[in-house]
């Protein structure tokens, strides 16, 4: 008898995409453009990747962070090529070979994904939900939308994320919350937000993710 289809959903930045260096460089570049003085990576506050970008830019004396992001963010970010973490593509291919639906739920803008997502990664994703497509995480709306598009129930899905908001969204959507410890937030923060299990490295992405799903009668 054929087993029921399952889904593996992922955050992008810090989980599938190794974008930390690009985001740090973008923060410094936007602050440089906005203030007219050179801002370096060393000027960034501690934990810059774990803080809202407008908060980091305000720390760097940018007078209107929202306007600065509108003017310069995409141009600065596009200057650095972002690649998947080692092992991600092969892991997703193995999931696809088993018939698993694969999706991404991200806080990124949809227009940005056209050039931010490497083609080799984009072609492996059955669905991508951006911040324009649903209420952003920690609301579960994006995960619910992704599962609806691939027609899979929450109890047959996992979500891999690296932030507390990812874990909260996963729990609210009724999917298994898997914390990626190679991401931008420490395991303790993920645990406090409700992570069900932790994944130690990008090579953990693959069919073994589905072992964390509860046993479901396939009859």
Residues forming the active site: 11
Burial of 58 per CB tally in 10 Å (0-12, 13-18, 19+): middle
Q: For strands 157-161 and 176-180, give the pairing.
A: parallel
- Are the C-beta atoms of residues 147 and 6 closer than 8 Å to each other? no
> What does the alpha-carbon distance between residue 49 and residue 14 come to, in Å, rounded to a whole number?
10
Asked whether the beta carbons of 61 and 40 are under 8 A apart, the reply is no
CA-to-CA distance for 103 and 135, rounded, in angstroms? Answer: 17
């Amino acid at each position: 008898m054929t087993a029921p289809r399952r889904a593996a959903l992922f955050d992008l930045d810090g989980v599938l995409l190794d974008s930390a260096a690009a985001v740090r460089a973008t923060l410094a570049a936007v602050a440089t453009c906005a203030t007219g003085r050179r801002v370096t990576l060393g000027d960034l506050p501690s934990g810059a990747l774990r803080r809202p970008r407008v908060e980091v830019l305000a720390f760097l004396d940018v007078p209107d962070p929202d306007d600065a992001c509108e003017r310069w963010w995409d141009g600065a970010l596009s200057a650095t090529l972002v690649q998947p973490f080692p092992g991600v593509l092969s892991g997703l291919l193995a999931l696809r070979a088993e018939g698993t639906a694969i999706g991404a739920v991200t806080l990124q803008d949809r227009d940005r994904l056209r050039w931010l997502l490497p083609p080799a990664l984009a072609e492996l994703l059955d669905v991508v939900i951006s911040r324009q497509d649903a209420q952003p995480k920690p609301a579960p709306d994006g995960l619910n939308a992704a599962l609806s598009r691939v027609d899979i129930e929450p109890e047959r899905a996992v979500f891999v994320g690296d932030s507390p908001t990812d874990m909260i969204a996963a729990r609210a959507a009724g999917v298994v919350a898997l914390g990626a410890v190679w991401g931008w937030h420490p395991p303790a923060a993920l645990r406090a937000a409700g992570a069900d299990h932790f994944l130690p490295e990008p090579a953990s992405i693959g069919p073994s993710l589905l072992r964390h799903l509860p046993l479901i009668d396939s009859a």
